[in-house]
Amino acid sequence: MTDIVTVIERALKKAPIIPVLVIDDANEAVPLAKALVAGGLTVLEVTLRTPAAMDAIAAMTSVNGAIIGAGTLTEPIQFRAVSNAGARFAVSPGFSPELSDAASEAGIFYLPGVATASEVIAAQARGHSFLKFFPAEAAGGVPMLSALGGPFPDIIFCPTGGISVLQLAKYMALPNVLSVGGAWVAPRDLVKARDWRAITALAREAVDIAASVKN
């Protein structure tokens, strides 16, 4: 577990954007992952929102340089399933002790979702210090994350939800933000059109913006 945490942290420090991917056709998974890696994004989250998600995760694990995770986990049984499919981390929109326990039992790194101070306290009590802030824009965005930094100086966030390239720099400028998750780097219309060059270009743009803020 410690090894994959270190790998993820190092990857996110180089390219702190996590594409949130909704894949309708597993045949699109490998070229999509290759396009994102070519653009500098290596930590990829495949959401469990389509029937193709599990097959997509399994296929993407073959892409050199990609670290594949699963998102939108809401039931404990899903953690073992995504781990068996090859996912190296799991993300949920919310937090519960049951989900945390299931992640530990499956031996997979877990990024739980929070939106309030109470949820941060609950996740922190279970040993989680890297949290997903979701839905970021609807839950208060940059001002909310800035406010949470005061009482929770040891918590690092990955805001996700409603974020576009236009808000990226503001989020990345926050000291308690390590990474930002978003679907804008791989929109479904470009995926369906199989416009991999456009997706690579969007990935590079995001990497460049994040680098300009953090460096």
Active centre residues (catalytic): 45, 132
Give burial (CB, 10 Å; 0-12/13-18/19+) of 126.
middle
Dihedral angle sign, alpha carbons of residues 173, 174, 175, 180: negative
Return the structure tokens found at 32. 């999509």
Neighbour order of strands in the sheet with 89-91 = 109-111, 89-91, 67-71, 43-47, 17-21, 180-182
Return the structure tokens found at 210. 């994040």
- 108 contacts: CB under 8 Å, gap ≥ 6: 79, 82, 83, 87, 88, 89, 90
HSE toward the beta carbon, residue 162, CA cutoff 13 A = 10
- Scored b (16 or more CB within 10 A) or e, 107-123 reads ebbbbbbbbeeebbebb
CA distance linking residue 111 with residue 24, whole number of Å? 24
The pairing of beta strand 130-133 with beta strand 43-47? unpaired
